[in-house]
Chain A
């Protein structure tokens, strides 16, 4: 039950994009076509899950200040948290990049510069930081569920957005609002819809 609660909470109620403002840059940049958005969502989900698991291990077994690390030392290395996390994320992204280049070359070329930029997708670092901050994600499996749900939430958001933007191409938008302006307004209305989920769970 706990897993379902965490999953629903992070996918719908506290969606990283609409409620947490994380990952806005790829959300605006890669949401022109549905298939590209889906590929991006998959890549982010993979990176976020792996990074969530690895940073949990790093934080709880090596840097954690209270319980003592795996060598039994009580190192107060909390200040290394950000540097360690960003290293993990950068190497995970490198891994995904190499994998896609070898096995899915068309997706690799269509994502282009946005693929290495997953490193700077704040949804990933944000999810890893929230896992460490929230009381309910302190156990490993809960943390993994939260990270996976965060990725799925991002994927849902970006795919919905891409679907709407494909239709926006045929509408007559006032010139100054073309591009970013109208996308942000649509995102605002979507966020309004997602606010409706607030009643579910915690």
Chain B
């Protein structure tokens, strides 16, 4: 089975065809919650990428030792360990962002995207393929968070990474506050998912 797809293919599929948020609809909670600014989206994407890479690495190394009926428990404990590391690291070096993201860093533990990668890829494949897959998925996750973050920050606060990009005079009085509030998250993700579906349909017809 392992020889069927190369590492590069496995890496690319995570970014495009199997994008965790926009196509597989996994890991939706952080995608909605922390994308009210580009900075938060980037930090969240980085943390999740670190966790998925490390958990895929460990799971892949242990794959011959794990008994099937306890595997979910092993996955969650592995993930919880690395999330604790990421959480302490962010609290030490990026305190402001870590406060803004709040409970969503520990909530990476229950991000279905990461458990899904361990279950689908890491438990069956060698270290190389698992790592390639984890990097692809991590980058795909970060990119989709970034897309949402850019749309919501520019429309909601008129800024990009805290720099003013839309005319301040207009945006001070007429900002789309709704975009940085919870409903804006659902609406933006709904529209982006619809657009991605449309582009995939068109791509299939063309090919």
How far, in Å, is B198 (CB) from chain A's closest CB? Answer: 4
B residues near A82, Cβ cutoff 8 Å: 80, 83-84, 87, 106, 109
Q: Residue-by-residue, is B67-84 near A (CB-CB < 8 Å gives 1, otherwise 0)?
A: 000001100110011011
Interface residues of A in 158-181 (CB under 8 A from B): 174-177, 180-181
Q: Residue-by-residue, is A169-202 near B (CB-CB < 8 Å gives 1, otherwise 0)?
A: 0000011110011111101110110010000000
Tell me the bound Cα distance from A1 to B25 in angstroms: 40
Q: Does A90 make an interface contact (CB < 8 A)?
A: yes
Which residue in A86, A176, A183, A189 is a CB contact (below 8 Å) of B183?
A: A189
A residues near B26, Cβ cutoff 8 Å: 25
Interface size grouping (class) on chain B: 35 or more
A130 lies within 8 A of B103 (CB): yes
Which residue in A86, A117, A129, A133 is a CB contact (below 8 Å) of B77?
A: A86
Question: What's the dominant secondary structure at chain A's contact region?
Answer: helix
Which residue in A83, A116, A122, A188 is a CB contact (below 8 Å) of B110?
A: A122
Q: Residue-by-residue, is B180-195 near A (CB-CB < 8 Å gives 1, otherwise 0)?
A: 0111111101110111
B residues near A117, Cβ cutoff 8 Å: 112
Q: Does A28 make an interface contact (CB < 8 A)?
A: yes
A residues near B76, Cβ cutoff 8 Å: 86, 90, 119-120
A residues near B81, Cβ cutoff 8 Å: 83
The answer to whether residues A176 and B110 also contact, given A116-B72, A126-B103, A191-B182 and a CB cut-off of 8 A, is: no
Tell me the bound Cα distance from A117 to B76 in angstroms: 12
